[in-house]
Amino acid sequence: MNFVEFAVDERLVSDAEQAAFGVYARLVGASGKAKRAEYAVAFADILGNKGEFHHYMIGGSGDRLAHIDHLLKYFRENTELLVHKTWVEKTDEKRKVKLLEEISAFEREFRDGAIAPAFRRFVALARSIAHLLFGAQSRADDFLVYCFRIDPKLGLFFWFVGELETRLREDVVTGPEENEDLMTAEILVGMYVLSCF
């Protein structure tokens, strides 16, 4: 039984949250920017606050870029605040400093249009944030179950990060523009969700 089936069988997600699994699969399988944007918005609406994400995917390029710029700023400020406010053992202080540097590097890559490196860095950032918040538990086999029991949306986010990691292992972050569009949509969804925490 895969994790999605397990999460549904164990009622770790509501019916509305359960839809996220299918919507994400449609996002990854979508061809064309319009369909991809539609599914990215639907997925983000489940993970975040309904109706807020569409500004990053739909609309005139000038308005969309202004909204994305605001999201990057909000993402950086919120993740930096999260890192600064999270108490860690003295041995993990260096990890916090490195994470702050990685946030800045991610922002630079994304702004420069280096989408594949930004995608890789975003996945690493999300995993580092999980470790910062949950320590060794973030590497445990039952980490997703743990997150879903805390908050289904938190669980869905880290399930999503796991899906991104799978795509990295399958080396789909290189190649045609189609992949770059998908990676951009996934990064925007990830930044948006982390900004909502």
Per-residue model confidence as pLDDT tens for the chain (197 residues): 577 776 667 676 777 788 999 999 999 999 888 999 999 999 999 999 999 999 999 888 889 999 999 999 999 999 999 888 877 777 777 888 899 999 999 999 999 999 999 999 999 999 999 988 888 888 888 998 898 889 889 999 999 999 999 988 886 655 555 588 999 999 999 999 999 87
Q: Tokens 């997925």 map to which residue?
A: 43
Cα torsion for 147, 151, 156, 162, to the nearest 10°?
A: -20
Cβ 66 vs Cβ 58: under 8 Å:
no
pLDDT at 36: 94
- Domain hosting 137: range is 3-196
- Number of domains observed in the structure of the chain: 1
Tens digit of each residue's pLDDT (9 = 90 or more) over 124-133 = 999 999 988 8
Distance in angstroms (rounded) separating the CA atoms of residues 116 and 123 = 11
